[in-house]
A = this chain, B = another copy of it.
Amino acid sequence: MNKALTFSITCELNGTLARVGIIKTPHGNIETPAFIVGGTKATVKTLTSEQVCQLGGQSVLANTYHLMLQPGADIIAEAGGIHKFMNWSNPIFTDSGGFQVFSLGMAYKKGLDATSSSEKGDYRKAVHSSSQLAKITDDGVTFSSHIDGSKIFINPEISMELQHKIGSDIHIAFDELTSPLASRDYIKKAMERTHAWADRSLNRHQELNDKHVLNNEKLQALYGVVQGAREEDLRKESSKFLGARNFDGYGIGGIFGPTEIPTVLSWVNNILPMDKPRHLLGMGSQPADLFLGVQYGIDTFDCVAPTRQARNGALFTNSGRLNIKNSKFKCDFSPVDNSCDCYTCKNYTRAYIHHLFRANEILGLTLASIHNERFVVRTVDYIRESIKDNTFFEYKKDFLEKYYGKHKASSFL
């Protein structure tokens, strides 16, 4: 294969932006729509690669910022690249470190995350916070390491160099994610910076790929990132600007909560080139994200919520989330979810997992992570099948009404 990435669309859903396709990379294919499993520090938390394969994970997403700090991109390169390092032979995404501009800047120590915070209403505090670990200029971002406080500088060129050393298949351009409470002026400024950084990312990326060609190495792909928050004109401008560049695909950042998905993705995905894959950055913590994302033209998602929530004892079921630590599960000898096909549900009961959580046994975290990750991966797999056989809307309605109840689900239908 002499291209970093090819994308072919095999099926579309009339009247929507939804499509079924295949992303081909030098490390294998991803059938889309697909949920990309979170693997921040080159590990899917609590799970072996074998377990991630068994639960149907097609691809994982690791984080350039975390890996540059620990163990360092050079060590991963010396290991023969991230695939060998973490024992994952299928496609790997890396994000650029751009998310940390937000999470270590505006959102630092505020308990914010990009997927759940808009419901908490605490952005105001974040915006006025002075406890930040990231300082931004037009050249790049200076971080204070969350590990030892040392100063770290990342700019688009450095991010590209790191991602090439790490050796992931799909890289993300270095971008600036803004807070949902940022002013229009700031959103515009950050978007323009993101565009300048996109061009710089693309230039450096192409230089590095040229070297790979000379060295007979595998090529790597680069996605540009559309920003612009909730501003229609800025989102459209961002989509046009980036859509005209030679990216292999596009990430869409800065969407906070499922209610923003239809509006923002309608602006963006009607402009971005139809024949390139689109990734919804950091979203997928709840089923509405997945159904709405696909309906409005998303091909891949990533989110660390399935394993993070699992470690807190919050388990996904067809009828909503349950807290396995609740004493009502002490004698509940049914599986977490009766209809689930995961290793956990096939072999263990709620009572046993409850026991493990109460007894602080690590196996509880593993079993919960297997279940939640399988739940989300399977949901997107079934969405893919429902597009093929034209039952997407029936599946969506049925799933969301069972999960949220009819009233709440109605806002997503």
Residues of A near any B CB (own CB < 8 A): 41-50, 66, 70-71, 75, 78-80, 85-87, 330-331, 333, 343, 347-349, 351-352, 354-356, 358-359, 361-363, 365-367
Residues of B within 8 A of A46 (CB): 362-363, 366
Minimum CB–CB distance for A46 against chain B, Å: 5
Residues of B within 8 A of A87 (CB): 347-348, 352
> A347 and B45: CB pair below 8 A?
no
Residues of B within 8 A of A70 (CB): 355, 358-359
Residues of B within 8 A of A365 (CB): 362
Minimum CB–CB distance for A144 against chain B, Å: 18
Known pairs A50-B343, A352-B86, A352-B87; A330 contacts B362 (CB<8 A): no
Minimum CB–CB distance for A151 against chain B, Å: 20
How far apart sit A330 and B356, CA to CA, in the bound complex (Å)? Answer: 33
Q: Could you write out 24 A-B pairs with CB less than 8 Å apart?
A: A41-B355, A41-B361, A43-B359, A43-B361, A43-B363, A44-B363, A45-B361, A46-B362, A48-B363, A48-B366, A50-B343, A66-B359, A71-B354, A71-B355, A71-B359, A75-B331, A79-B351, A80-B333, A85-B349, A85-B355, A87-B347, A362-B365, A362-B366, A366-B366
Known pairs A70-B355, A352-B85; A330 contacts B75 (CB<8 A): yes
Copies in the complex: 2
Minimum CB–CB distance for A41 against chain B, Å: 5
Those 10 A-B pairs whose CB atoms lie nearest each other, nearest first: A71-B355, A46-B362, A87-B347, A43-B363, A41-B359, A43-B361, A70-B359, A79-B333, A87-B348, A85-B352
> B363 and A78: CB pair below 8 A?
no
Task: Considering the complex, give the chain B residue whose CB is closest to the CB of A50.
Answer: B343
How far apart sit A345 and B88, CA to CA, in the bound complex (Å)? Answer: 15
